Amino acid sequence: MHLVGTSHQGGYSHEAVVYALQKCGIRHIDTAKRYGCESHLKEAIRESGVPRQDLWITTKLWPSDYGYEKALQACRESCERLGVDYIDLYLMHWPDAQIPGKSSREARAETWRALEELYDNGICRAIGVSNFQIPHLEQLKEDCDIIPHVNQAEYHPFQRPQELLDYCRKNNIVFEGYCPLAKGEALTHPVLIQLAKKYNKTPAQICIRWSIQNGVVTIPKSTKPKRIEQNCEVFSFTLTEEDVAMINGMHDGRHVSWDPTNIL
């Protein structure tokens, strides 16, 4: 699936989103309340002329809106800002949940029940989580009725959480990877530069292709039309198993985004 990511860092480009939708065939928009650009996306989608039913829109619930009633309200507000009647995929953005008098586990379960209701009522076509680790997912499985459809987590050559990926596969949870270029840190690595020359591609294209070949739904982000176009040109070549294994070997456990490891 072709994707365009938005984020709270790196800015928002109206031109880039319209270009991605009109010229690159991109149909998956990944955003969040936290990124502060849902209302901008409403305008970009309108300007692009792409019908709503052809888009897959993901947005996320920020922890300050956790809790049953607050989550329902926050989803309604996201729909309003985006100018849509439904969300294709709604994610709990982060496992830490600060609700006075409740443990994080209790707060996550209460919030997830709201997402289950949104799903049952068709306001969200799919529901999931972001940055959740295996213990968080196990608790949700015990506490709630619906297993998350998606878990979105950091995934790039330096951060390849294979155990989490295997767990998600075993439990039919789609694994989506963000920061596939490690916020640019991967692009200067000698292994990726060498492979880029070998395949006559950019280091970014090598990273994205590697992620896809590892079975990850990959979410690259750029505000530059040329880069967005390049990010889409990753389906005309295949990395050899040896080269995939070489990139797999670059994993050193570093995070370039938030680290949810120690959240209870």
Q: Is 93 annotated as a binding residue?
A: yes
Instruction: Confirm whether 35 is a catalytic residue.
Output: yes
Cα(20)–Cα(219) distance, integer angstroms = 13
Cα(260)–Cα(264) distance, integer angstroms = 9
Cα(165)–Cα(176) distance, integer angstroms = 9
Distances (CA, A) of 190 to 77, 180, 183: 45, 17, 16
Distances (CA, A) of 144 to 14, 57, 104, 148: 39, 25, 14, 10
Cα(247)–Cα(45) distance, integer angstroms = 36
Amino acid letter, residue 158: F
Catalytic member of 19, 35, 66, 90 = 35
Cα(203)–Cα(174) distance, integer angstroms = 26
Would you give the distance in Å from CA 239 to the centre of its chain? 23
Report residue 9 as tokens: 């860092």
CB < 8 Å & 24+ apart, contacts of 228-236: 228/4, 228/16, 228/19, 228/20, 228/24, 228/26, 229/23, 229/24, 230/202, 230/204, 230/205, 231/204, 231/205, 232/2, 232/24, 232/25, 232/26, 233/201, 233/205, 234/201, 234/205, 234/208, 234/209
Report residue 231 as tokens: 């990010």
Residues labelled as active-site residues:
35
In the annotated binding site for substrate, the residues are: 93
In the annotated binding site, the residues are: 93
